């Protein structure tokens, strides 16, 4: 019985150690976003590809984005449906691309506690850097904006009046 207790305590210590090392807060929220939508980067058959986050229902958007960003995304979607053309959003924001097949993602804590750095590696050697601006809500950490290294932020794009 003593040996069983010792093994149990060892397993508990290992589990506690692993839990202590797991990312939390904003980094965990961004990691979860990419875990949930990784299919975008691995399925290269358009009719079998999952629906992009930004094309999903409001309730799904609200699991990842703050209320302001959800409203901006829905307004852009409504504009596209009304005009039957692209308004402001013509790419997958979390991938900074229209073609994300083969992309790998590196996620790290940003320079500030509410920032998360994401490095997207496109084959063969292209690298794009994103900074997620996160906000703490009653429901947990949510994306408030995505800043891109090569163009204006997601919120800036979505706030523009389409032509």
Q: Give the rounded percent of residues in the chain with a pLDDT score beyond 70.
A: 85
More confident residue, 3 or 114: 114
The answer to whether residue 88 sits within a structural domain is yes
Could you give the CA distance from residue 105 to residue 32 in angstroms, rounded to a whole number? 12
More confident residue, 135 or 49: 135
**CATH number of the domain where residue 124 is located:** 3.10.450.50
The answer to whether residue 11 sits within a structural domain is no
Domain that holds residue 120: 24-159
The answer to whether residue 4 sits within a structural domain is no
Residue 8's pLDDT band (cuts 50, 70, 90): very low
| Overall domain count for the chain | 1
The answer to whether residue 84 sits within a structural domain is yes
The answer to whether residue 139 sits within a structural domain is yes
Q: What is the mean pLDDT of residues 108-128?
A: 96
- The tokens for 14 are 């290992």
Q: Is the pLDDT of residue 59 over 50?
A: yes
> Sign of the CA dihedral 19, 22, 24, 29?
negative
């Amino acid at each position: 019985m003593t040996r069983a207790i010792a093994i149990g305590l060892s397993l508990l210590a290992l589990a506690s150690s692993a839990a202590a090392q797991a990312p939390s807060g904003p980094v965990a929220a961004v990691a979860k976003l990419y875990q949930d939508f990784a299919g975008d980067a691995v399925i290269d058959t358009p009719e079998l590809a999952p629906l992009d986050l930004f094309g999903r229902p409001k309730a799904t958007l609200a699991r990842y984005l703050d209320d302001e960003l959800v409203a901006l995304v829905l307004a852009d979607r409504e504009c596209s449906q009304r005009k039957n053309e692209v308004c402001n959003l013509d790419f997958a924001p979390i991938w900074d691309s229209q073609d994300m097949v083969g992309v790998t993602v590196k996620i790290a804590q940003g320079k500030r506690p509410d920032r998360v750095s994401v490095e997207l590696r496109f084959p063969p050697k292209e690298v794009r850097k994103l900074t997620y601006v996160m906000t703490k809500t009653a429901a947990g950490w949510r994306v408030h904006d995505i800043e891109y290294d090569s163009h204006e932020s997601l919120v800036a794009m979505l706030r523009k009046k389409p032509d």
